[in-house]
Amino acid sequence: MKIDILSLFPSYFDSPFEESIIKRAQEKGHVTINQVNIRDFATDKHHRVDDRPYGGGPGMVLMADPIVRAIRHCRREGSCVIYLSPKGETLTSKKCGELKTLDHLILLCGHYEGVDERAIELEIDCEISIGDYVLTSGQAAAIVVVDAVVRLLPGVLGCEESAVDDSFVNGLLEPPVYTRPSFFEGNEVPRVLISGDHKKIAKWRVEESLKTTRAKRPDLYQNYLKNREFIPIPLQELGLWHSQNPNS
């Protein structure tokens, strides 16, 4: 996969993409991440990329021309151009799964009061939001998208099951996790996890996942009940089918 990130501040990404999993993914050739400075596509001598909004109002608006030029410079057949915007669809695990199948992503990071609508109409394939709040610019959102998508690429994680078992992948939150020591400040690891009985462990994890989701994210829990194809383990086999009753 190749990812081009269009922004006014390419150096913003230097540290996040030079650490941990994203760094290793680049070193292993699973992904190429390229930063593109929108100012390089300005046509005046001052490299101006913004101007006051028509109709008045506060702040500045990113001009259509340099953005369109930058996108067209990067775009190729099969590219998906994404504008990071609070107006977009909310980023979900399902959406990340769709994006991981693409060969080329172009992420446009807005700034100031937004982007001239004509650039969006001409070049943007979809808009994505990472939540119902406003950021100073789209750079932080781009980092979230890159991290969430790249970790799903085959070979990126050391254990493929890590991505499959993550919260939201199956429509539920993860169950609690534990490691050594088995006893810490009066708290003991649930005995089932050290029993060696894999069926009981699987049943416990599903039970805890359902319990956690119902308590902390009732919206996800209700959606899970409506979309049974998300069920990660046949609940009939584990004796948990009754847990799908919203009133149970």
Q: Which of 151, 175, 205, 214 is catalytic?
A: 151
**Of 107, 95, 96, 105, residue with least CA distance to 142:** 107
3-state secondary structure of 112: coil
CB count in 10 Å sphere of residue 207? 17
CB 93 within 8 A of CB 230: no
Would you state the structure tokens that stand for residue 237, as one six-digit string? 């086999």
Q: Dihedrals φ, ψ of 109, to 5°?
A: -100, 120
Q: Which of 16, 66, 86, 175 is catalytic?
A: 86
Question: Is 27 known to be catalytic?
Answer: no
The dihedral region occupied by 57, where left means phi > 0, alpha psi between -120 and 50, and beta the remainder, is left
CB 35 within 8 A of CB 65: no
Would you state the structure tokens that stand for residue 77, as one six-digit string? 């057949």
Q: Which of 127, 147, 166, 208 is catalytic?
A: 166
Q: Which helix (H) or strand (E) holds 34?
A: strand 32-37
Question: Is 113 known to be catalytic?
Answer: yes
Q: Which of 65, 113, 165, 207 is catalytic?
A: 113
Question: Is 86 known to be catalytic?
Answer: yes
Residues catalogued as catalytic: 86, 113, 151, 166
